[in-house]
Structure 1
Amino acid sequence: MYPLSRTDSRDTDSIQQRQKGELEYLVFPKLEETGVVEHLFTTRTGGVSNGIYSTMNLSFSRGDDLECVRENYRRIGEVLGTDPEHMVASKQTHTTNIHLVTKADAGNGITRPSVYDDIDGLATDIPGIALVTFYADCVPLYFVDPVHRAIGLAHSGWRGTVAGMGACMVRYMQEHFNSRPEELVAAIGPSICVDCYEVSEEVAEQFREGFPEDVLQPGKAPGKYQLDLWKANQSILLRVGIPPEHMAVTNVCTCHNPEYLFSHRASHGQRGNLAAFLMLKES
């Protein structure tokens, strides 16, 4: 198994590597402990794509061979106990828009073109439908309501984070599923770490209010800052009422593991996409 680089030694069991054949993937034990979901976060291993997409690319829109991408989804489906016809994805555009997934959405964006765009969050209470969101440095946010049996999955780059995507998802689940923040279990997934994520003064200014001071650190050049998206998203989830003991926070950086995880920054844009998967089990 790949020697995964972690940014620190805190709670190394918060996210774990698993393997099925050649396919390696990452899971959160805290989500597994709910007993109501199947989930994973992909790595670059175990697929059939080649070149800059090797091997487990899950993007249909970056120039990869489409048959290879379809086979990659089929292999992920085997791990989850489902198939691509029961997966749902959307085109992400760094919004806080959330779509309520129903049975009619099955296959959207995977086995057929997406009928909706500008969606960065998916939520459902339908068992057997796998929610899918895409990454190559941005932050995946997983939400599980084991009481009301509902789930949410959100993509949160710096724009989504400063707009409070995590809080938007919690409020959405409250409205649609009667979820209570104190009953939710959440995970902040693999993404770019503070040491690798340099931002401009313009971006930094948007994080100076409403976030802990230490989400920004001095950059390596004048007018630059290091942005801690993990801490920023954690603060959002804490403020909205998710207990710290119900939260898993990654210490796995995409940019520190470019041979194992796609990173837009490390590859200068020459890459495929990772994906987060989250599915309610059949009761």
Structure 2
Amino acid sequence: MQLNHMEQKEKNGVSYLTFPVFDHYPQLLHSFSTRLGGVSQGEFESLNLNFRPGDARENVLENYRRICDAVGYSFDGLVSSAQDHHTVLRRVTNAEKGIGFTRPRDMPSVDGLYTNVPGITLVTSYADCVPLYFFDPVKRVIGLAHAGWRGTVQRIGEIMTNTLQKEFGCNPQDLLAAVGPSIGPCCYEVDDVVRDQVMQHEDLIPLELMKELGGGKYLLDLWECNRRILVLSGIPDQNITVGEVCTKCHPELFFSHRLMGDKRGGMTAMMALKEAHSFDS
């Protein structure tokens, strides 16, 4: 697979992707997982990071231990979202460590996580939807948001930007953002229901975001849609990286709901601030 804006890394057989722009910051850890390097079998092979029926919970937890070891995350600091395609964001503190892993989820709807606490590992889940990464190197704040088409048209990227500004005093001009691997404009076919939702956002110039296929079907560019939302929320265009990696096009690396249906595993976006004593020299 040709990567123009991301880098594929591997440790102990665990393969994951990162953004070079974030790799420049020693206080930051981040990744987008692939399906390579885990212990799950069959349709979940092998690095399944979604607690889906059919895969043993102990397999998924072992997969998390493996990617934590590969990237450098604290397994004890994992905190999961509870995604349902809305725009609820959750501020994560030490009190939330373990939620979704060693502790049950305690909220029914969380499509975005953010924190300024080192040692916490934010985790959001994917199998074609768009992961949005946020990092403020000035305030040392991170965030992850899950943007399917519903989250996109509800402008979850703008909501996250505004929330970080309100909660931590972040200046959008300082924010670095990235659009991670997801179904691309080459493969994301939608119907008139989705098209009509996108068309309501005139400031995004929606006709540029869709290619008509005929029969009430369209190809939608969620990458560009989210990029424009981030720009309109105040993040400079030069501070935004679009990974341009399509999950449906690469089943050898990713699980894809559009390609595989429900018989599949899932990937994660993960992000953490390092403890001060663990910064690389």
Q: How many residues align?
A: 273
Structure 2 CA distance for aligned equivalents of residues 111 and 85 of structure 1: 8
Asked if the contact 2:82–2:109 (Cα under 8 Å) also holds between the matched residues in 1, the reply is: yes
Pair 199,240 (structure 1): closer, same or farther in 2 beyond 3 Å: same
The residue aligned with 1:52 is: 43
Pairing partner for 2:23 from 23, 32, 39: 32
Q: What is the deviation of 1:259? A: 1.9
The Cα RMSD (Å) is 1.1
**1:115-264 matched pairs, under 5 angstroms:** 115-210=106-201, 211-212=204-205, 213-219=207-213, 221-264=214-257
Structure 1 CA distance for aligned equivalents of residues 183 and 123 of structure 2: 19
Asked if the contact 1:30–1:247 (Cα under 8 Å) also holds between the matched residues in 2, the reply is: no
Asked if the contact 2:12–2:70 (Cα under 8 Å) also holds between the matched residues in 1, the reply is: no
SS at the partner of 2:198? Answer: coil
The residue aligned with 1:64 is: 55
SS at the partner of 2:166? Answer: helix
Structure 2 CA distance for aligned equivalents of residues 137 and 124 of structure 1: 25
The residue aligned with 2:279 is: none
Pair 17,48 (structure 1): closer, same or farther in 2 beyond 3 Å: same
TM-score, structure 2 length as denominator? Answer: 0.94
The residue aligned with 2:93 is: 102
Q: What is the deviation of 1:229? A: 0.2
Structure 1 CA distance for aligned equivalents of residues 98 and 46 of structure 2: 22
SS at the partner of 1:206? Answer: helix
TM-score, structure 1 length as denominator? Answer: 0.94
Q: Percent identity?
A: 45
Deviations 1:59-117 (A, max 9, x none): 11332111110100101111232332210002200011000001010010012211112
Asked if the contact 1:37–1:280 (Cα under 8 Å) also holds between the matched residues in 2, the reply is: yes
What is the identity, as a one-letter code, of the residue corresponding to 2:235? I
Structure 2 CA distance for aligned equivalents of residues 86 and 80 of structure 1: 13
Q: What is the deviation of 1:5? A: 5.1
